[in-house]
Structure 1
């Protein structure tokens, strides 16, 4: 299994680091949602989770997906392995298939209780910004290895595309988790094509109906296709997080690591109230 990816390490990583630095500065200057917790505390908590989880992406997930692609390419397995398919179409269709498989994976993370235990570590963050983009439990990242590798093999995508898509995937994840306030006119158009901060902010709402929407990662078309798109929630009306985890004590690194192995709490506030919101018309129309 190949572990060295020169283009990813020498080109992709610096690009992602530069994008992260730019987003970090911009989200501080142009803030979309008001913070509810001290930034330093959150950066420590989210950084602790990321420190354990991020290496699995580089040293387990990427090599596994690349190996799956090489195997499918060598053995002619997968949807795109027909010899008559031109190279440009393989790369275009391959990108689309990879992105669709990640939409389905995200839905699975929410719908399968076992996976939700791990993914919930990401969702109980009470603010949403760039650091949340790396706050994934190591167990979730490990679980993604067989799923995403199988998706690569069944799709039959070219092996180099796996590396390119992963760079785009990580960059878009950082972008739409950021607390960057884009010009509304621009974001209203942009979310027709890719996932944006306002769109993904709705996905992190404590209202269950809103959390169970906007699963797309790069291309936003999958939510439109599956009718899971929801844009009609004003950002300042959103409370970020999960209702049953509203205490700062829930955010400690120790609790975040152990949380998947505890009994899940019901989707309700500490006072027993279930967060709700009156359904507004025009689900596909972005609101400020």
Structure 2
């Protein structure tokens, strides 16, 4: 299985690094939501989780996806091949369909009790910013290999497109997890096409129906298509995290690594109440 991808590593990764550095500076200057915990503590915790997860992404997930695409391409297998589309159409449709399959994967992470155990490590962060974008349990990255590989093979996505899409995927993940305040009028238009920080902030709310919305990664169309879009929550009313995991002491790297293997708590605050919210606007209306 091929592991080295010169263009991905020498062009894609530096571009992602530059984008991350820019977002890191911008979210410090233009903060969207107030922090609840010291930033250095969270950077240490989240980087510890990422230190295990990112190598799995680069050395297992990326090569696995590329290998699935290459095998399908060699055997002329997959939907896009069977349709006999010209190359430009295969690349365009392939990019869109890759994003759609990742929307479905994100929904599955929330619906499957087993997968949620691992994805919950990402969600119990008590703040949301750029560092959260890479706070994924290594088990979640490993579990995504067969799903994403199978989706790529069934679609017959061109192998080079897999690497290009992954760079855009990671860049957009960093963007919409960031705590950067965009001008409201700009973001209101932008979220009609792609996932934005305000949109994804709602996904990290402690209110269950808000967490179970806004699953898209790059294009926001998929949430509109499946009626899982929710924009009508003011950012200053959002409490980030999961209600049953509010203790900062449980953010230690050891606890986060072991958490999927422990009994998961019900969706309620320590006092037994379930967070709710009344909404007065259309779900499709982005609020400041």
- Give the TM-score taking structure 2 as reference length: 0.99
Counterpart CA distance in 2 for 1:219 and 1:240 is 23
Q: Which moved more, 1:275-284 or 1:79-88?
A: 79-88
| Offset of residue 281 of structure 1 | 2.3
- Give the TM-score taking structure 1 as reference length: 0.99
Deviations 1:149-174 (A, max 9, x none): 00000010100000000000000000
Deviations 1:127-163 (A, max 9, x none): 0000000000000000000000000000101000000
Please show how residues 76-91 of structure 1 align to structure 2 within 5 Å.
Answer: 76-82=76-82, 84-91=84-91
Query: What residue in structure 2 maps to residue 209 of structure 1?
Result: 209
- The alignment covers a number of residue pairs equal to 288
Query: What residue in structure 2 maps to residue 249 of structure 1?
Result: 249
| Offset of residue 249 of structure 1 | 1.0
Deviations 1:191-227 (A, max 9, x none): 0000000000000000001000000000100000000
Counterpart CA distance in 2 for 1:43 and 1:270 is 26
Counterpart CA distance in 1 for 2:283 and 2:53 is 34
Deviations 1:32-82 (A, max 9, x none): 000000001100000000000001111000100000001111111110113
After TM superposition, where is structure 1 displaced by more than 4 Å over at least 4 residues in a row?
A: none
Query: What residue in structure 2 maps to residue 55 of structure 1?
Result: 55
| Offset of residue 250 of structure 1 | 1.1
Counterpart CA distance in 2 for 1:28 and 1:65 is 35
Please show how residues 195-206 of structure 1 align to structure 2 within 5 Å.
Answer: 195-206=195-206
Query: What residue in structure 2 maps to residue 152 of structure 1?
Result: 152
| Offset of residue 287 of structure 1 | 0.3
1:260 counterpart = 2:260: yes
Query: What residue in structure 2 maps to residue 180 of structure 1?
Result: 180
| Offset of residue 279 of structure 1 | 2.6
- What value does the CA root-mean-square deviation take over the aligned residues? 0.7
Query: What residue in structure 1 maps to residue 130 of structure 2?
Result: 130
User: Residue 206 of structure 2 contacts residue 240 of structure 2 at CA under 8 Å; is this kept in 1?
Assistant: yes
Counterpart CA distance in 1 for 2:84 and 2:214 is 36
Counterpart CA distance in 1 for 2:245 and 2:173 is 23
1:272 counterpart = 2:258: no
Counterpart CA distance in 2 for 1:92 and 1:8 is 19
Query: What residue in structure 2 maps to residue 228 of structure 1?
Result: 228
Structure 1: any 5+ residue segments left out of the alignment?
A: none
Counterpart CA distance in 1 for 2:229 and 2:175 is 18
| Offset of residue 83 of structure 1 | 7.0
Counterpart CA distance in 2 for 1:35 and 1:44 is 16
Counterpart CA distance in 1 for 2:213 and 2:238 is 14
Please show how residues 98-177 of structure 1 align to structure 2 within 5 Å.
Answer: 98-177=98-177
Query: What residue in structure 2 maps to residue 65 of structure 1?
Result: 65
